[in-house]
Amino acid sequence: MAVGIFDSGLGGLTVLDAVTKRLPDVPFVYLGDNAHAPYGVRDADDVYGLTCKAVERLWAEGCDLVILACNTASAAALRRMQESWIPADKRVLGVFVPLIEALTERQWGDNSPPREVAVKNVALFATPATVASRAFQRELAFRAIGVDVEAQACGGLVDAIEEGDMILAEALVQSHVDALKRKMPHPQAAILGCTHYPLMEKEFQAALGPDVTVYSQANLVAESLADYLERHPNMLGDGTEAKFLTTGDPKTVSSRATQFLRRRIEFEAA
C-alpha cells in the first residue's frame, strides 16, 4: 500500500512530512534525485528524462501512485508523461493541482467555464524552469479569469537551502521579493511554487508584508492526497515498507535531511 514521493532533492521532504502526519497508516517511499539537483536550471527534455527514470524506480518499490513533489518536474514533465507514457494501472500526480484548487476555490474535477475569483493579483515565486514553463498560469487560466500572475524566478535559493546556508537563503528571499514588488507593487497572494520554499515561509511573509496571503503547498497536497486515496483506494500499491532513497551520497544526504526536518533521517542508495 506504499505511495511514492519524488523530488529532485530535499524540498519534497516538506510534502512528505505533511502527508505522513495526515496519513500515518500509509508507508511512503521518498526518492530524492540529489545527484542531479537542482532541476530548476535544466531544460524540459532533461527534466522529463530524469523524472521518468525516478518514477520507474518508485514503481519498482511497489508504488503504483507517485506524487511529484517537485514543482519543476510537475511543470516541465507531468503533462507529457500523462499524455503518452504512464501505463493505465499507474498514476503520477503533481503539486500544482491542490494549490490552484485553493486559490480558485473550486475542485479540480469542476469543468465549468473559467470564472472570476476573489484574488486578482498573484505573485508566483518559483525556479527558473517552472517560471519558463508557464504551467501554473496555463492551469490557472482553465479555471479563473481576470487574475494577473507575476512570476519571479528565484535563482540560487534552492541551492542555498540544500546547502543549509540560511543566511544566504534569507538574503535571496528579500532580494527576490524586492524584484517582484518592482513589477507588482501590491500582490494580494503569493504562491511558494517550490517545495523547498516552505522552509522560508516566515521570511517570505515578512518580506511581503502581513496583507499578502502566502500559499504553501505541503498541507494542501496532504489534504488533496487523502481525498484522492479515499476516492481511489485501488491506487495504493503493494509496497509495504517506508524508506528514503537517493541517487546521491546516502551519508551526505542523510545528514542534510536530518537538519532539514530536525529529526533523524536515514537514506539508502537508490
**Active site positions, annotated:** 70, 194
As given in the structure block, the three cell numbers for residue 81 are 508523461
As given in the structure block, the three cell numbers for residue 16 are 512528505
Q: Pairing state of beta strands 65-68 and 91-93?
A: parallel
What values do phi and psi take at 263, rounded to 5?
A: -150, 155
> Would you give the distance in Å from CA 189 to the centre of its chain?
18
| C-alpha Rg value of the chain to the nearest Å | 18
Q: What is the CA angle 128-248-16, rounded to 5? A: 70
DSSP state of 146: S
Helices 250-261 and 13-22 cross at an angle (nearest 10°) of 60
Tell me the three state secondary structure of residue 246. strand
